[in-house]
Structure 1
Amino acid sequence: MAATAENRLRGIFTPNIVPLTSDAEINEPELRRYVDWLIDHGVHGLYPNGSTGEFTRFTVEERRRIIEIMADQTRGRVPILAGAAEANARETIKACEYYHTLGCRAVAIVSPFYYKLSPAGVYAYFKEIADNSPIDITLYNIPMFASPIDVPTVQRLAEECPRVIAIKDSSGDLPHMMRMIAAVRKLRPDFGFMTGWDAALMPMLLIGCDGGTNATSGVAPEITKKLYELTMAGKIDEARDLQYRLLPLFDTMLYSAEFPDGFRAALKLRGIEPGPSRQPKSAVQVDQLRQLSDQLQCLLAAEGFTKEPAAGCKVPPTVDADHVARIVQNVVGELRKRGIA
């Protein structure tokens, strides 16, 4: 197949949560229902076994079973980008081989974690996998958890490895993404760039990204899909408004609980039963999640996805634009007096 822009991964690929039973086993019926729900709500692809899917908290056999269930339920309706990261290159190659037999579009592989490697080590790791994989590979850059993938390494892998077709970057670093696009796109027009940082989805799309692997799409796929479509259609004002509306929901789910518990709590409010996380919780954490649920319900109710909690929602204080303008003018005036502005 010729290397063209039409061949790229594009759109919103949902990094889905894995519903669990009360004894923390994979809840297959609910996972199947969740897959249908996501597809019915318009996501462009699915991304199981990612960070949102808590891949490190499942066994190798369970990770494979998750992909089996989702591939069977999807039945080719949307492409699957399967998380294939294992603890070493040999086991990751085995995962690539197996997910290829299930008909996945590609795999996503996080750079080596636990041991922080140099760029040379990161390159050697992905080169070994790419040379032995029967399925296309998406690099996964998440420097807060794993060895970072720098621009020269992405460029070198794109040049030398036809199987490496994209990168999913969850750093949220806009200049880093721009440098990668500038370095690679002229060499590989088929190479895709996906952002994993929901708070910057619109600006990432504007600088040339092809889509996102956004955890919020697993809870509110309507918002992320519409944000993608508005931005790609050049409806900038509408897209910007939606990006700002997405921000408090994303921030609350991400920062108000240990990841991805905030997303699990919000998903329950959408009618999907996520079950308990496999990560044990203290009594304090359980109580905090209970309080967070009401906060999330208010945010989801504001978008029309749920009803308000029984106690209602606090009305956010209104912003007096004239008052803000006066404050800004006073600050600038004071800075000018001091010779700073």
Structure 2
Amino acid sequence: MTDRPRFRGIFCPNVVPLDAAGDVDESELRRYIDWLIDRGIHGLYPNGSTGEFTRFTAGERRRIIEIVVDQCDGRVPVLAGAAEANLRETLAACEHYAKIGADAVAIVSPFYYPVSPGGVHAYFDEIGRNTPIDVTLYNIPMFASPIDLDTIRRLAGTHERIAAIKDSSGDLPFMRSMIETIRPERADFAFLTGWDACLLDMLELGCDGGTHASSGVAPELTRRLFDLASEGRFEEARPLQQQIAALFDTCFAAGDFPAGFRMGVGLRGFSIGPGRMPRCEEDRAAEPERLAAIRAHLETASLA
């Protein structure tokens, strides 16, 4: 173990461009990755919630990671989303992503069936004993069984491969408790936030970085905020946080998640496609108004 967190900075949970047939548009995805890196993203996080991992086949998910790892080519680390519907497939994904050169994986806790805290621990304990690649625990209680503090503490104390947590609850007291409990015993364990509205507050608490949907639309804003926070210039970063939160709220409200973030990426100059989820007539009719609202935020930030 080292005395530094293994992950630091803003990892973009990138959307996936689709072509007219609804297939992964590899050339546009590669162009998008280069654009994100050029604008200061610290790392890529493909196959996250914003990347609609549940809407792709297992083969497509693996191909997406292969493209991202290849295009990054060591310029920034890749945190590969490895959540699958069951333990066996999740471990198989871990093995594949380790083999192709991903730096780590992020794994959501068991979903669909509610699982007890003991069951969540048992699930990640099995992963910790068998994974060939570093693991980031992914706590997103709105979609999956929550990962409580005691479970995180036990896993961090038992498995060196369990190297970080990404917490998308937006719960500041919970993040503070995690940092105060785990960091003294595990200096290399990283704490990432996944809730855009409180990025600055989380960094001020001592978070090491985050994965934020808004970073795929406005990577310049999240990078600048992170840099200011790293220098302790929190008040100077406050207007940036307000811009990020406003952009996030507008994108989040623009139809079924992550449709608004796909629209935002499209407004930055990419042929992104509508996503895999069929759209209703109400969403189609509202699209011009939603695009205008997102564009207004980008113009305010001088990004359009």
For normalisation by structure 1, the TM-score amounts to 0.88
C-alpha separation in 1, matches of 2:114 and 2:157: 24
RMSD: 0.8
Correspondent of 2:33 among 24, 32, 35: 35
Runs of 4+ in structure 1 over 2 Å off: none
- In the other structure, the counterpart of 2:45 is 47
| Contact 1:21 1:276 (8 Å CA) reproduced | no
Q: Give the deviation of 1:256 after TM superposition.
A: 3.0
Please say if 1:143 is aligned against 2:138: no
Q: Which segments of 5 or more consecutive residues in structure 2 lack a partner in the other structure?
A: none
Once the two structures are superposed, residues 260-290 of structure 1 have per-residue CA deviations (whole angstroms, 9 ceiling, x without a partner) of 0000111111001111211001111111122
Specify the structure having the higher radius of gyration (Cα).
Answer: 1
- In the other structure, the counterpart of 2:228 is 230
Q: Which segments of 5 or more consecutive residues in structure 1 lack a partner in the other structure?
A: 307-341
Correspondent of 1:132 among 120, 130, 155: 130
- What percent of counterpart residues are identical? 57
C-alpha separation in 1, matches of 2:292 and 2:270: 17
| Contact 1:109 1:139 (8 Å CA) reproduced | yes
- In the other structure, the counterpart of 1:242 is 240
Which amino acid counterpart does residue 20 of structure 2 have in structure 1? S
| Contact 2:14 2:44 (8 Å CA) reproduced | yes
Q: Give the deviation of 1:3 after TM superposition.
A: 2.8
| Contact 2:204 2:234 (8 Å CA) reproduced | no
- In the other structure, the counterpart of 1:201 is 199
- In the other structure, the counterpart of 2:302 is 304
C-alpha separation in 2, matches of 1:206 and 1:261: 30
SS of aligned partner of 1:140: strand
- In the other structure, the counterpart of 2:254 is 256
Q: Give the deviation of 1:42 after TM superposition.
A: 0.7
Once the two structures are superposed, residues 101-140 of structure 1 have per-residue CA deviations (whole angstroms, 9 ceiling, x without a partner) of 1111100000000011011000000011111110000000
| Contact 2:259 2:274 (8 Å CA) reproduced | no
Which amino acid counterpart does residue 232 of structure 1 have in structure 2? S
The number of equivalent residue pairs is 304
- In the other structure, the counterpart of 1:311 is none
SS of aligned partner of 1:51: coil
Correspondent of 2:285 among 269, 278, 287: 287
- In the other structure, the counterpart of 2:109 is 111
More relative contact order, 1 or 2 (CA 8 Å, 6+ apart): 2
- In the other structure, the counterpart of 1:275 is 273
Which amino acid counterpart does residue 270 of structure 1 have in structure 2? R
- In the other structure, the counterpart of 2:6 is 8
| Contact 1:22 1:276 (8 Å CA) reproduced | no
SS of aligned partner of 1:109: strand
Q: Give the deviation of 1:255 after TM superposition.
A: 2.1
SS of aligned partner of 1:64: helix
SS of aligned partner of 1:131: helix
C-alpha separation in 1, matches of 2:245 and 2:83: 29
Between 193-202 and 267-276, report the one with greater CA deviation: 267-276
| Contact 2:243 2:297 (8 Å CA) reproduced | no
| Contact 2:46 2:65 (8 Å CA) reproduced | yes
